[in-house]
Amino acid sequence: MIKPHGSDELNPLFVYDSNKNDELQHSARDLKSIVVSSQTAGNAVMLGSGYFNPLTGYMNIADSLEVADNMHTTSGLFWPTPVMNVVANSQDIQAGDTISLKDPNVEGNPILAVQNVRSVETLTDTQIEKICQKTYGTNDKEHPGVAAFLEQGNVVIAGDIQVLNHSYFATEFPDTFKTAVEIRHEIKEHGWNKVIAFQTRNPMHRAHEELCHMAMDAIKADGVVIHMLLGKLKPGDIPAPVRDAAIRKMAEIYFPPNTVMVNGYGFDMLYAGPREAVLHAVFRQNMGATHFIIGRDHAGVGDYYGDFEAQEIFDEVKDGELEIEIFKADHTAYSTKLNKVIMMRDAPTGHTKEDFVLLSGTKVREMLGNGEAPPPEFSRPEVAKILMDYYQNL
């Protein structure tokens, strides 16, 4: 099986020993505590799950700036986005303290993790601007990722953590949320050697489904892991339980047995386009995928990124920095001339836009809200039914 990123073995930061976990939970009640941001909580879940291997905790300002600037920590580890615990007020927390991190996304703010504080530093406005510009490609406060980062504050608490639970993901999505450790185990159980991963934050329409089949055929994969984001999205996106139901129905009917796994991970979408595409590749390697599909405007939002910037950034990744291989995909759509889904770059000469079934997101939502199923060339009827039920109950 493919090695994790940066180490020979996966090192999740979750405390699996139940006695030790209970002891830490008990002792953490007497520690200084902070309710962290949703982004920081997502980082903790990813660290605890093994997805952010080999990181051992939250970065300081020097590492965060170096990662933002050139995708490496000060020690030389390849890493594409800062992983930080940023707060508005340090609340007298000092280097050397052990503190408890409380979950902002669960009622009662239970303890999510314990952090050994290595440093407490304050970001300057210039440093904040640099981190945003380099990570998100913009300082525009209308960008949802930039807005979420700026809302946290400017105090950076760095240091190693021990994760005590997986937030709401394990309880709200018990059949879907899986750690990198668990997915690696499932891949071994399936007997898969060549594994391709597909990222989604949306329901999968016909083109997405066929793209997975095309990629599997192209690399002769044993299976595909459809890996959905379960954390916070932007307003208007379809909630995770609906996406989960739609994707599972599609996988059940339209993939052969023992060729697909449907799982999810606990993280808030950054909408960081190219940089987030690289982050997605890193943690797919950590979960055991040998290949990863990067499509048009991967992890993008609005008009902030070019159609294929998320593919082009991998040209900057040096040999040996990542073992996972990238399957670069074009926009896919149903060709009425060929009566099948193809990548548009592969369309035979003579194809025009009118020869493809192309529907805007707005048009699809309008149809679903009116109880009208999109054409079967665009969406499988079983998937459309689940989405229609959701939109009509809004």
CB 197 within 8 A of CB 292: yes
CB 276 within 8 A of CB 311: no
CB 227 within 8 A of CB 274: no
In sequence order, the 6+-apart residues with CB closer than 8 A to the CB of 202 are 237, 238, 243
Can you give the pLDDT at residue 150? 97
Q: Where are the alpha helices (DSSP H) in 327-373?
A: 361-369
Can you give the pLDDT at residue 73? 98
Beta-strand runs (E) in the chain: 32-35, 57-58, 86-87, 98-102, 111-116, 119-122, 155-163, 195-200, 223-229, 260-265, 291-294, 325-328, 332-335, 340-343, 356-357
CB 164 within 8 A of CB 113: yes
Mean local confidence (pLDDT), 87-100: 96
- Between 231 and 263, name the one with better pLDDT: 263
Paired with 197 in beta bridges are 225, 292
Can you give the pLDDT at residue 365? 81
Q: Could you tell me which of 251, 255, 263, 146 has the C-alpha nearest to residue 199? A: 263
For 318: left if phi > 0, alpha if psi spans -120 to 50, otherwise beta; the answer is beta
Give the integer Cα–Cα distance in Å for 213 and 63: 39
CB 268 within 8 A of CB 232: yes
Can you give the pLDDT at residue 363? 82
Buried b (16+ CB within 10 A) or exposed e, 325-358: bbbbbbbbbbbeeeeebbbbeebeeebeeebbbe
| pLDDT more than 90, % of the chain | 87
- pLDDT higher than threshold 80 for residue 234: no
Count CB-CB contacts under 10 A for residue 315: 6
Residue type, 181: V
Tokens 């939250």 identify what position? 58
In sequence order, the 6+-apart residues with CB closer than 8 A to the CB of 307 are 296, 297, 331
Instruction: Please work out, in degrees rounded to the nearest 5, the angle formed at the alpha carbon of residue 177 by the alpha carbons of 281 and 301.
Output: 50
CB 392 within 8 A of CB 369: yes
Lowest mean pLDDT among 33-37, 138-142, 201-205: 201-205
- pLDDT higher than threshold 80 for residue 237: no
Confidence of residue 201 (pLDDT cuts 50, 70, 90): confident
Residue 313 exposed, middle or buried by CB count within 10 Å (0-12, 13-18, 19+): buried
What sign has the CA pseudo-torsion 210, 211, 215, 216? negative
- pLDDT higher than threshold 90 for residue 67: yes
Which pTM does this prediction carry? 0.94
Lowest mean pLDDT among 51-65, 89-103, 335-349: 335-349
- pLDDT higher than threshold 80 for residue 233: no
Mean local confidence (pLDDT), 54-69: 98
pLDDT tens-place string over residues 155-198:
999 999 999 999 999 999 999 999 999 999 999 999 999 999 99
Residues labelled as active-site residues? 201-202
Mean local confidence (pLDDT), 312-317: 96
118 three-state secondary structure? coil
| Structural domains of the chain ordered from first start | 18-170 (3.10.400.10), 174-392 (3.40.50.620)
CB 265 within 8 A of CB 230: yes
Can you give the pLDDT at residue 394? 79
Beta-strand runs (E) in 96-217: 98-102, 111-116, 119-122, 155-163, 195-200
